[in-house]
Structure formats: structure tokens, C-alpha cells
Amino acid sequence: MKMKRLVILSLFLPLVVSGQYKYGLTPTKHADYLSGLSNNPKNELINLEKFIPGVVLDIRYATTNNFTKEKIYNLSRAYARKPVAESLKEAQEEFKKQGLGIKIFDAYRPYAATVKFYEVYKDTTYVASPYRGSRHNRGCAIDMTIYDLKTGKDLPMPTEYDSFRKEAWPTTPVKDHVIKKNRDLIISVMEKHGFKVNSSEWWHFDFVGWQKFDVMDISFEELENR
Ligand SMILES: [Zn+2]
């Protein structure tokens, strides 16, 4: 009975709702974001590459080297809300004392990209639900690793970025002591500076207090041309 109802629903749903916002969530668009900034300067999306010396980008969704095998972003950019950018800057200062730098795989993500990921891979263990949006959509999540400032090489970690394996969980035991040390280091420095690691992705850090920020659907081009 339940299945039958679902089938009927899915047949009629496309007729009832159309467009990108069919999941019952209406994200903030560019014009509203801009007009709200004077009252809420904390909402500003900051270009992390410009704001934080030592931060480098490897934005996989601006290439085909990601789980969708498609280029999702037209530009390779990393933005985050002002307090998130400030906390990340402090974390970078601490990493730098150990000869390390932050490499960002993804930061603010337009809501349209979250919809696309969900439609490609319908498992919300690893991709955010479009009904709620991602913390990336709020400009409050950073996907990252750390690299050696001298050699430019990434530190060995339990898995590659965007791995759907259980080894990616921060709680999975690691035998290799160097890898364990690296994973503990990235998590401890980030958590000291106001972030919380995701329970199934060692590379994903949520800004504590992300609930205060809204889901946005603003492209990198819009942010750049304002
Ligand atoms: Zn993430």
C-alpha cells in the first residue's frame, strides 16, 4: 500500500512542482543577500584564497575529478561567511607554526549543486538532503586537508577526499601511526578554532553556530561581479 502511494505521488509530483526548488526549501538569492548585508555584516561571503595567506585551493567540483564525474562549478572558488573565514584564518596560523597549510576542496556551495549531488547519489549519509540543504550552502562548512608548506605535498590521511568508505569516518581505527597523527592533528586544530568534524568525513568541518546562517543559491559569478 505504501509503495503504491509512493508511485502515485512520484507520478504527480513533477506536475505540481517545477524548477530547482522542488524540495520545499527556498534559498536566499543574490539580490536579497546583498540587501541584507548592511544589517548583518556577518553574513558576508569572504573569498578565502584572498583572505587567508597559506590557504590553497583544489576545488574538485570545478573539475571532472569528483564523484559525479561532471564539472559542477564554472569557477574554482572558496567562499565562507565572515566569522567562518576568521576562524579558519586562526586555524591556518596554528597549522603554519607546524610548517603546514590548509588545502580547501570545497567551501560555500550554491544550493543548486546540492540538488544535483542528491539527484546523482541518493544516499544522504554522504550527500546532503535537498529538503534541508547542506551546511556548505550556508557558507559554514569547509572540506579540506593539510599540506606541507615546504614540499607542497598533502599529508597522508586515512582516505582520499569524498571517499564513501568507512575508513573516512573519524572514529574508524587507523593502524598507521603517521596517518592517525595527521587525522588527529587536523581535527584537533579545527575543533580548537570553532569547527566540528563530520561523523562520516574526516575532511569536512562544520562551523559551530551554522544554524544562524541561511541556505543560499548564489553562483560564484554573482559573488565576483557584485
Ligand atoms: Zn563537506
Residues contacting residue 71 through CB under 8 Å, at least 6 positions apart: 61, 62, 63, 64
pLDDT in tens, 33-43: 999 999 999 99
Say how many Å lie between the CA of residue 164 and the centre of ligand 1: 12
Written as nine digits, the cell of 36 is 541584507
Say how many Å lie between the CA of residue 136 and the centre of ligand 1: 7
Check: CB of residue 91 under 8 Å from CB of residue 133: no
- 92 pLDDT higher than 70: yes
Say how many Å lie between the CA of residue 217 and the centre of ligand 1: 16
Amino acid at 194: G
The per-residue pLDDT for 16 is: 39
Say how many Å lie between the CA of residue 90 and the centre of ligand 1: 20
Say how many Å lie between the CA of residue 149 and the centre of ligand 1: 23
Say how many Å lie between the CA of residue 84 and the centre of ligand 1: 14
- 21 pLDDT higher than 70: yes
Mean pLDDT, residues 210-225 taken together:
95
The per-residue pLDDT for 1 is: 41
Say how many Å lie between the CA of residue 202 and the centre of ligand 1: 9
Mean pLDDT, residues 194-220 taken together:
97
Say how many Å lie between the CA of residue 161 and the centre of ligand 1: 10
Closest CA to 126 of 114, 137, 138: 114
Say how many Å lie between the CA of residue 134 and the centre of ligand 1: 8
**DSSP code of residue 159:** S
What's the whole-number average pLDDT of the chain? Answer: 91
Say how many Å lie between the CA of residue 3 and the centre of ligand 1: 32
Angstrom distances, CA of residue 163 to CA of 30, 33, 56, 148, 169: 32, 33, 21, 22, 10
Residue 194: pLDDT band with limits 50, 70, 90? very high
- Residue 16 and residue 5: Cα distance in Å, rounded? 16
What element of type H or E holds 192?
A: helix 177-192
Mean pLDDT, residues 41-48 taken together:
98
Percent of the chain scoring above 70 in pLDDT: 91
The region of weakest confidence among 42-46, 80-84, 116-120, 178-182 is 116-120
The per-residue pLDDT for 188 is: 98
Say how many Å lie between the CA of residue 123 and the centre of ligand 1: 14
pLDDT in tens, 136-169: 999 999 999 999 999 999 999 999 999 989 999 9
The per-residue pLDDT for 128 is: 86
Say how many Å lie between the CA of residue 144 and the centre of ligand 1: 8
Mean pLDDT, residues 73-84 taken together:
97
- 76 pLDDT higher than 90: yes
The per-residue pLDDT for 18 is: 46
- Residue 111 and residue 137: Cα distance in Å, rounded? 6
The per-residue pLDDT for 193 is: 98
Say how many Å lie between the CA of residue 199 and the centre of ligand 1: 11
